Structure 1
């Protein structure tokens, strides 16, 4: 059992105390824990800023919980109603046979969102260039690391013998560790990757999203009991997300950037637009909240290859499409 799952086990049996409630304006508040703050999650911020949640009589209380373990802990301990996190976490929790299952009910992203960044310019980069290098990786068992390992193996690189893999740095500090001189290569989310490129700290040489295929990489997850007791709120939630997904798909990157700028105080608006276009062009943003069934099984293939899959789970067991079906009627 993974170390962070050992820490989660006692939380699963806590009594249910839902935080979803109505505020003074009559809106229903839904507390959302996001695994990190990233332009990768642009549709969520769009849904808030463009008033799509408000149109559905929902007020979002958004907290960044920095890492899959802390995000799932927030959901299991009733500190959040909805977790925005990798779908692999739902498989880990399910393997413990919890009394209140966690269910994936909406897709936000459908590819890996990280990029391979080198310390030196490498205009003619090939994957063989990684051999013998120091590689600053992500947390073991997390989707970024597993997708990264999958891509390396697909390109003939063994992540544990061909590179010097360093996984000692906490998720929230990986970018700063690389900026401070750790690693020849690093796997980074945006906007860090593009910021580093513009500042000359690093250079984007490959996209893990392009290389690893369609995945339920970041999904909206909630407890089964929440779905039973607050189904209508979740339907309205997904309807708002869908409107935001269409905004991201159809509006200009500049329009998306202008809307989500408040979530990235230290990132220039033109850089946000560049990142939005990069993610959109590689199909990272899901165009609707349906979780791809083929991608669900591809996710488990990647987990199994990394030695992290506790058991195979059927799509219907942990993915609920009825919320989205009602939202898009």
Structure 2
């Protein structure tokens, strides 16, 4: 539960430091609305979001979206609850952590972007005959305790007969943004990495992609757009427009090649060439990591809770309809 407590402490501090006021958006009837969005990291994993921005889908809905990368689940949720952002793109587990604190204005999941884990197992050495049991006894650079990458990682390892805290030399003392560089410079043998970092490492020869945690773990609401309940109640029209733009982008990504997607999202990854971006997109498309619609269903929610419970990080059993609003997304799909 240390991960959950850490996030809750961040949120508590944020609530004390900021005066929670009215959101910066005006009303549902405004011709245009400015929306501040905080994304948990910058990754090809969020390709549909960047497509919505670059293809003008938000503009078509009369929305001006200001995107900020906040680097980590705790910082992203702190930004949201303190009104530093109107909408956050982050793992659904964070909404459960905040709810367990007894928040008067709960954080509601309203549009799912990814439906599987987006990390890949990267090893220092290539292994054409890889099997999970080869990790036993290895030095493994883990993710933040209580975050989705680490919980899904532990879940997959346990499903393959590996106790991550007994069978590995597991390190979890590196900040999220510094994990790639720490793996490169340290004596770690394995790490979980998002794209395009995994492909960059492979091209440079500093790492080799061995397996997909998303393929091994199944569907889960890995990253979801969420907002405070008050925002959704006061800005229902804005939330619908935002979700409509995301759905258009999800459908576009699903119907276009990795190469076409890469060309569109390249401005968000200026240091990565288009060919490598295409490889990253195709990895995610092959593993069905991108959600093709924004509905977060109850089965996925229950899978999330099972993974959290297995990791010892589920503070309470929160029903699907308590923190998930599917009506907005369902109405958009049925238009």
8 Å CA contact 2:7–2:97 kept in 1: the answer is no
SS at match of 2:231: helix
1:153-232 equivalence runs, <5 A: 153-232=158-237
Shift of 1:181: 2.6
Question: CA–CA distance in 1 between the matches of 2:291 and 2:297?
Answer: 9
Q: CA deviation at 1:9?
A: 1.7
1:297 and 2:293 are equivalent in the alignment: no
Shift of 1:325: 2.3
Alignment match, 1:239: 244
Match in the other structure for 1:9? 12
Q: Work out the CA distance in 1 between the residues paired with 2:83 and 2:180.
A: 30
Tell me which of 71, 91, 94 is aligned to 2:96: 91
Q: Is the 8 A contact 2:10 2:75 kept in 1?
A: no
Equivalences, count: 327
Q: Distance in 2 between matches of 1:141 and 1:265?
A: 31
Q: Does 2:120 align with 1:115?
A: yes
Q: Which ranges in structure 2 are unaligned for 5 or more consecutive residues?
A: none
**1:242-266 residue CA offsets vs partner (Å, 9 max, x unmatched):** 0000110001111111100000000
Unaligned runs of 5+ in 1: none
Deviation at 1:162?
0.3
TM-score, normalised to structure 2's length? 0.95
Q: Could you say if the C-alpha distance between residues 289 and 264 of structure 1 is closer, same or farther in structure 2, counting changes exceeding 3 Å? A: same
Deviation string, structure 1 residues 8-65 (Cα, Å, up to 9, x no partner): 124347422312359xx95211100000000000000000000000000001100000
Q: Which residue of 2 aligns with 1:135?
A: 140
Contact 1:147 1:212 in 2 (8 A): yes
1:322 aligns with 2:319: no
**Are 1:287 and 2:292 an aligned pair?**
yes
SS in 2 for 1:193: helix
Q: Deviations over 1:240-295 (max 9, x none)?
A: 00000011000111111110000000001011111111101111000010012101
The CA RMSD measured in Å over matched residues stands at 1.3
User: Out of 32, 36, 39, which is 2:37 matched to?
Assistant: 32
Question: For the residues of structure 2 that align with 1:47 and 1:298, how far apart are their CA atoms?
Answer: 28
Q: Which moved more, 1:152-161 or 1:9-18?
A: 9-18
CA distance in 2, matches of 1:274, 1:151: 24
Pick the aligned partner of 2:25 from 13, 16, 20.
Answer: 20
